[in-house]
Structure 1
Amino acid sequence: MWRKAAAVALLALTVGYMYHANPGLPQRILRRITSPQPATPGSEQVISAAWEDRITLPSRQWSRVAVGVNACVDVVVSGVGLLQALAVDPGTGLDHEVLHSKEDLKEAFIHYMARGAAAERFFSDKEVFQRIARAAAEYPGAQLYVGGNAALIGQKLATYSDLMVLLCGPVGPKLHEMLDEQIMVPPDSLQETDEYHLILEYKAGEQWGSTKAPQANRFIFSHDVSNGEMSSLETFVASLDEFRPDLVVLSGLHMMEGQGRQLWEERLKEAVAAVSDIPKEVPIHLELASMTDKDYMSHIMQEQFMPIVSSIGLNEQELLFLSQAGGGPHADLASWKGTPDVGRVSDILLWILEEHGRSDPLSEADLTRIHFHTLAYHILATVEGSWGNQAAAVMAGARVASTQACGLQTIDVSKVELRAPVEFHSSHTEPKVKLALNPEHPVTVWRRGNVTFHLAPVLVCKQPLRTVGLGDAISAEGLVYSELKPQQPF
């Protein structure tokens, strides 16, 4: 009690001294010192209001979007709870490119849980996977959802009533039942059984043994041969003649990685040949996902898909891995530490568009747009003159990340927080420009050569209900608000 009384007395003396030393001191400052102030709207409120004012659809919108080719049923379950039910003990984390046993699963899960990072792996043993899948489906609180990047993107696009969506992939009876009725599925995509993916989620601060998750995320694994071989790709491309889309969204390349080099090397060539049959005037967005084989990623970048797509979507793990596989900027980084540095991210995005895109007037590549997303912020990097409405598109992606993670239709500022850096640089190396976040105008824009960058902060959900599919929703929303400009000669 005496300490509290002394503190009050000291505060009173301090205020008295300040007033007598400067009688002109404004009363509002004295009131702020001596009495608690009512809460004022924070940056979260300002950003949320700015989003509502500034996010507008482009003048030219997509009318028919074709999405393929990975689709499945997601079984979402507590990762720690399921592993405990499988009678495995916590231990040391260790990454595995392919999972062969419950022990591999446990080690890989702990490895990524300790980092709060998302990952996806192939489980090679079909019988062991099926036993784990049965245990997951029977675990208390387990939930079944539409899964697979293509199906999730299709579901998000189908929320726009004036948009026709074609989904092609291995669609079994359970998945077909769960899909939005607005989604069209070609008859050749229907199959008798569903493909299941297991999603092991963990919460921010959740602990298992000595491992504590710094943020909420998930670990995905499956034994999925149909998606792994992209068996629906040719059916997908063949269906485009009749559907006549004005945008194609392609995903599922990462699923082939676990099939072995001999299979993916041949299948990639066939996939490129099939995708090359899509009319040149139809833009293609490629959605990337977690991979571990640098040789496989290098094939996608240099010899295969990257030059024939118009746009790509990826997160921080995929961005750094892409740079490591191609010898790009900051490839010596083992992993990001905390929120990825904006300058480093900007360097890698610029490198991709300069090395594999159409930022060079002499390049024949189609790639002109990259949608990068991480927990705290998103960046849209586009070749000048190729895309419009990108400020609204990057804000729309950030907004859906906030609402979907919290399970809400609109932003609740009491449930989100701003974690984006307030100040950052346009590059990690010289020349670099110091930039700042302005909540009232929540898109920071800068240019490097022929590439324009739009950065938007994310209002991060404090207690996310579900993290699966956020990247797919972000990319889908960003595409809805994007406008492809008529190709101009350089």
Structure 2
Amino acid sequence: MNMLEVFVSSLEEFQPDLVVLSGLHMMEGQTKEMRQKRLLEAVASISDIPMGVPVHLELASMTDPELMSAIIHQQVFPLVNSVGLNEQELLFLTQAASGPHASLASWNGVPDVGVVSDIVFWILKEHGRTPGKASDLTRIHFHTLAYHLLVTVDGYWANQVAAVAAGARVAGTQACATQTIDASRVFLKAPLEFATSKMEEASTVSLNPHEPVSEWHRDGVTFHYTPVLVCKDPLRTVGLGDAISAEGLLYSEIYPH
């Protein structure tokens, strides 16, 4: 955590376009008191990041619901502009915060797109920048093996189609350790048709190979979905989530507010 303070104090010097944070899950092994202290220190450091520099938080697997709940509620989520997470982290998050589909014990195969979109929508509505909420969170990049979902509050981000497609492309190339997608080494695992919600009247989306990024809207929030060409025999899987989120951020544009 001291590194975070040193890092933030040096931001003025090298003036980054974006800050990416990770590692909050490493607090799990500490005592409750130490964790509380560290989390407050992290919040203070994140608060010191200059206005106008977007902040992305990459989550990692956790087993302590108290820590996850604290990250959501104790000012971490409202301080960052963007969050990246996978299906384990998303399900654990909704269980820890009693969100939608919290009774779901685990995913059965490929995570249901409607369930995922309900939870992500709830995160942005409850903890994002919506009317009456003092929060900077406007973007969530969800990645699972079969597909990716980039969800944004309207009016804050642009170029989402390219961003979600770039994240999916790097998942295929990095896992197979190739420069470009090798069609003979990948396969499609994503559903060819799905409902966009399990909680309200939903539209049905069918996969169009000519326009693989699907888009839909829900009460001021826009969803961009793309299937992933999954590597049959992956050579590299460590850090794949980081690579996906980084690539997506590289193509994302944030409007100045």
Q: Same fold (TM over 0.5)?
A: yes
Distance 2:224 2:125 in 1: 17
CA contact (8 A) 1:381 1:451 kept: yes
Distance 1:394 1:455 in 2: 7
Partner SS for 1:266: helix
1:476 aligns with 2:212: no
Alpha-carbon distance, 1:285 to partner: 0.3
Which of these residues, 371, 392, 396, is aligned with residue 162 of structure 2? 392
Distance 1:392 1:274 in 2: 32
1:427 aligns with 2:197: yes
Aligned to 2:222: 452
Aligned to 2:28: 257
Alpha-carbon distance, 1:466 to partner: 1.6
1:130-163 deviation digits (Å, cap 9, x = unpaired): xxxxxxxxxxxxxxxxxxxxxxxxxxxxxxxxxx
Which of these residues, 54, 58, 80, is aligned with residue 287 of structure 1? 58
The 5 Å alignment of 1:13-24 reads: none
CA contact (8 A) 2:52 2:256 kept: no
Alpha-carbon distance, 1:486 to partner: 2.4
Aligned to 2:237: 467
1:418 aligns with 2:193: no
CA contact (8 A) 2:165 2:226 kept: yes
One-letter identity of the residue aligned with 1:248: V
Alpha-carbon distance, 1:362 to partner: 2.0
Alpha-carbon distance, 1:236 to partner: 0.9
Distance 1:486 1:445 in 2: 23
Which of these residues, 305, 308, 315, is aligned with residue 79 of structure 2? 308
1:409 aligns with 2:210: no
1:202-238 deviation digits (Å, cap 9, x = unpaired): xxxxxxxxxxxxxxxxxxxxxxxxxxxx331111111
CA contact (8 A) 1:308 1:365 kept: yes
Segments of structure 2 that go 5 or more residues without pairing to the other structure are none
1:383 aligns with 2:160: no
Distance 2:32 2:233 in 1: 40
1:355 aligns with 2:113: no
Segments of structure 1 that go 5 or more residues without pairing to the other structure are 1-229
Q: Which runs of 4+ in 1 moved over 6 A?
A: none
Alpha-carbon distance, 1:484 to partner: 0.4
Alpha-carbon distance, 1:281 to partner: 1.3
Distance 2:256 2:207 in 1: 31
Aligned to 1:186: none
Which of these residues, 33, 42, 46, is aligned with residue 275 of structure 1? 46
The 5 Å alignment of 1:127-206 reads: none
The 5 Å alignment of 1:167-246 reads: 230-246=1-17
Distance 2:225 2:103 in 1: 25
Distance 1:292 1:438 in 2: 38
One-letter identity of the residue aligned with 1:255: M
What CA RMSD, in Å, does the superposition of the two structures yield over aligned residues? 0.8
TM-score between both structures, scaled by the size of structure 1 = 0.52
Distance 1:320 1:389 in 2: 27
More moved, 421-430 vs 346-355:
421-430
Distance 1:236 1:346 in 2: 34
Alpha-carbon distance, 1:363 to partner: 1.6
Count, aligned residues: 257
Distance 1:235 1:242 in 2: 12
Alpha-carbon distance, 1:386 to partner: 0.7
CA contact (8 A) 2:153 2:222 kept: yes
Aligned to 2:207: 437
More moved, 390-399 vs 232-241:
232-241
Distance 2:51 2:66 in 1: 28
TM-score between both structures, scaled by the size of structure 2 = 0.98
Aligned to 2:19: 248
One-letter identity of the residue aligned with 1:402: G
One-letter identity of the residue aligned with 1:409: Q
Distance 2:155 2:200 in 1: 25
Alpha-carbon distance, 1:239 to partner: 1.1
Alpha-carbon distance, 1:280 to partner: 1.9
Distance 1:404 1:244 in 2: 29
Percentage of matched positions with identical amino acids = 67
